[in-house]
Amino acid sequence: MSAAGLLTIGVVVTLIAAAMALLIYAAILDGRDAAARRAADREPTVPRRAVNILQTARAAGGFGTLVTAIDRAGLNDVLEYDGPYTVFAPSDEAFARLPEGAVQSLLAATDTLADVVNYHLVPGRMTAADIAGRISAETLQGEDLAICNHGVVRIDGARLVSGDLEASNGVIHVIDRVLLPARI
pLDDT at residue 44, rounded to an integer: 43
pLDDT at residue 56, rounded to an integer: 93
pLDDT averaged per 10 residues, the chain (length 184) = 64 60 64 54 47 92 94 91 92 93 91 94 95 94 94 93 92 94 83
The CATH number that domain 53-175 falls under is: 2.30.180.10
Report the DSSP beta bridge partners of residue 154. 148, 159
d(CA 106, CA 72): 10
Instruction: Give DSSP secondary structure letters for 70-85.
Output: HHHTT-HHHHHHS--E
Instruction: Give DSSP secondary structure letters for 48-107.
Output: SS---HHHHHHHH-S-HHHHHHHHHTT-HHHHHHS--EEEEEE-HHHHHTSPTTHHHHHH
pLDDT at residue 81, rounded to an integer: 85
Q: Where are the domains of the chain?
A: 1-43, 53-175
pLDDT at residue 151, rounded to an integer: 86
pLDDT at residue 46, rounded to an integer: 43
